[in-house]
Amino acid sequence: MEQKVFINSGKELDELYASAFVVTDENLDRIYGGMLPENKFVMRAGEENKNLDTVQKIAEAMLKCGVRRGDRITAFGGGVVGDVAGFAASVYMRGISWSFVPTSLIAMADSGIGGKTGVNVGLIKNAVGSFCLPDTFIETKYLHTLPTREYRSGMGEIVKTSLLDADLFEFMHGKFKAVEAIKKCVKIKSDIVNKDFTDKNGARKALNIGHTVGHPIEMITGLSHGMSVLLGLRFELLMLRDYLEHNYFYELQSYLSKYIGDTRVTFEPEAVAVIASADKKNEDGISIMYPYSIGDIREVVLSKDEFIRLLKEAM
Amino acid sequence: MEQKVFINSGKELDELYASAFVVTDENLDRIYGGMLPENKFVMRAGEENKNLDTVQKIAEAMLKCGVRRGDRITAFGGGVVGDVAGFAASVYMRGISWSFVPTSLIAMADSGIGGKTGVNVGLIKNAVGSFCLPDTFIETKYLHTLPTREYRSGMGEIVKTSLLDADLFEFMHGKFKAVEAIKKCVKIKSDIVNKDFTDKNGARKALNIGHTVGHPIEMITGLSHGMSVLLGLRFELLMLRDYLEHNYFYELQSYLSKYIGDTRVTFEPEAVAVIASADKKNEDGISIMYPYSIGDIREVVLSKDEFIRLLKEAM
């Protein structure tokens, strides 16, 4: 059940036209609408539209276009489009195949790999979803039209991923080349996903570094996902800094600062704790995946009170 | 991946209380609410509430009750409750376990077996759904409070199932005992489902006899599912009667009449054809599963025009 991933193969247009139906968003449709097939659903852009209401509308449009069980649909867009269209595919007629042409850096390097789909329920991200692998067609030319905020968000997930892998970590300290970074991220994430497709045995948890504090920051501040993960990482490193060797701690903080720049956030630690507790990954206490060293990620479970105390100290 | 089914084991109350969350409907809650745990969602009764909106409300209630990935939920009700609660379970936090305590005859004999879940999108039944096996706890004592219309609906699916199996067919011509009939139906359906869990290789299609015309009748007339299937069977037998040996045709019609009684329907054949064409099972033309003899079910595919012509002749 290895995921098929094509990088700069130039096959994505064939794939789009071979699909019975395409899902994209209004921003992309404005730029690329002319090259998309007619059977498509254009969703409103933004995380706030990643919900069951949009799934309903997509299913209605698919029914209207006569999409059948044996058909395939393609998501053309960033992580939100992929999450919602992938979920729609996984449940439409009890599940049809799907492809993903990611247009954002974060979707190319991270969310386009691994087959997690999902929509939000109220404030809870991906409270409803599925595991359903797409074929993914990464074309870096689409990065040219990516807004800066989104590009920086993608860099955030790449930087996060680099803490899982010494090779990528070293690469990130040299001259940056997006396509190489994406290739490495795809490989790192695929290897982890293959060990733990349905997120049960713990291997996939390593991908959550920075997310325990980062997710709530994203929800509270509205900052991009990748930037929120970087800020989450910074706070998590501070919260548990006693676990880290002195130089390594400062090296990481300086590395993160290069990508965080002067972005600052304010939030109530209690609010972060409430959102973190509600996360599906946090069954007993609040779990933080912690980079003891590059590639050595271990879980630390804190009680809610402990979490709040440490977060306050880190602020 | 064999489904666990318990029949009159008396374990269903333990199961309900061992679950983190229960889904039922308002009619059942009025009768049995006192014996149900507090963490529950009471949905409005009826097929028209089998939709994504109810799934959203169930997910919200589950989040509020703190239901986690490792938890299990239980559906307490008929087919609608099972379909919608099972679907909610299969996607909540990307999928949690569920149990089903069916309270209707049709759910005990048919929909509680096989793990198909689903909700309707507009007029299209189960346009969105999943395959997710519950543990099923059948307690025939709940039949005592089942409305007559629903009981007759269940009999409809049992009669349908009897055309798949000579033993049940013979049993149905003797003194009827619900628990025995249910046991036989569970066995027949489980055997078929085990050959074709995700409805891909065709084995499960045999279960659809009567449904090609029956589903549309149900949607157009509002008759119960089982009664609609019986009427669908009657029309389908008439439409393709040339395939059948004379005596066998009359034997089946007389057998069906025993359960249909004086129920009559009127509908536009074109409307039935439109709904049948939209069904996810009908990729190319309209497929009818046809009982050439008891246990010998074969597929007949008709063009839409042919389907309408034959249905008109049968009316």
pLDDT per residue over A8-67, tens digit each? Answer: 999 999 999 999 999 999 999 999 999 999 999 999 999 899 999 999 999 999 999 999
What are the structural domains of chain A? 5-145 (3.40.50.1970), 148-314 (1.20.1090.10)
Compute the nearest-CA separation of B170 from chain A (Å): 35
- E-strand ranges in B166-310 read 286-293, 296-302
Q: Does B283 touch chain A (CB under 8 A)?
A: yes
> Are the beta carbons of B198 and A68 separated by less than 8 Å?
no
* 8 Å CB contact of B121 and A199: no
Q: Which of B54, B56, B132 to mutate to test the interface with A (most CBs of A within 10 A)?
A: B56
> Measured between beta carbons, which residues in chain A are less than 8 angstroms from residue B198?
94-95
Cα end-to-end distance, chain B, whole Å: 43
pLDDT at site B280: 61
Q: pLDDT tens digit string along B213-243?
A: 999 999 899 999 999 999 999 999 999 999 9
Q: Mean pLDDT, chain B, as a whole number?
A: 95
Residues of A in contact with B118 (CB under 8 A): 94
Q: H or E stretch including A274?
A: helix A269-278
Query: Does the CB of B278 have a partner CB in chain A at under 8 Å?
Result: yes
Q: Is A64 on the interface with B (CB under 8 A)?
A: no
Q: Report ipTM (2 d.p.).
A: 0.92
| Nearest CB partner across the interface for A59, out of B95, B121, B131 | B121
Confidence (pLDDT) at B283: 61
The residue of chain A nearest to residue B281, with distances taken between CA atoms, is A69
Check if the beta carbon of residue A101 is closer than 8 Å to that of residue A12. yes
A70/B283 touch (CB, cutoff 8 Å), yes or no: yes
A177: contact with B, CB 8 A cutoff: no
Question: Which residues of chain A neighbour B304 with C-beta distances below 8 Å?
Answer: none
The predicted pLDDT at position B111 comes to 94
Provide the shortest C-alpha distance from residue A96 to chain B (in Å): 11
Q: Distance, in angstroms, between A193 CA and closest chain B CA?
A: 15
Question: How high is the mean pLDDT of chain A?
Answer: 95
Do A69 and B122 lie within an 8 Å CB cutoff? no
Contact with chain B for residue A52, Cβ under 8 A: yes
CA distance B89 to chain A (A): 9
Interface contacts (A, B; CB < 8 Å): 98
* A63 to B126: CB separation less than 8 angstroms, yes or no: no
The answer, yes or no, to whether residue A283 has pLDDT greater than 80, is no
pLDDT of residue A187: 97
CA distance A202 to chain B (A): 13
Question: Best interface-test mutation with A: which of B87, B92, B116, B121 has the largest number of A CBs within 10 A?
Answer: B121
| A282 vs A288: CA distance, rounded Å | 9
Residue A277: CB partners within 8 Å, gap ≥ 6? Answer: A286, A304
pLDDT per position as a tens digit, A153-195? 999 999 999 999 999 999 999 999 999 999 999 999 999 999 9
**DSSP 8-class letter at B4:** P
Interface of B with A in 199-238 (CB under 8 A): 199
Across A104-133, average pLDDT: 95
What residues in B contact A116, CB-CB < 8 Å?
94
Q: Please tell me whether the overall predicted TM-score, pTM, comes out greater than 0.90 for this model.
A: yes
Using the beta-carbon criterion (under 8 Å), do B56 and A118 form an inter-chain contact?
Answer: no
Residues 120-139 of chain B with CB under 8 A from chain A are 121-122, 124, 126-131
Contacts of residue B147, defined as CB under 8 A and 6 or more positions apart, other chains included, come to none
pLDDT in tens, B187-197: 999 999 999 99
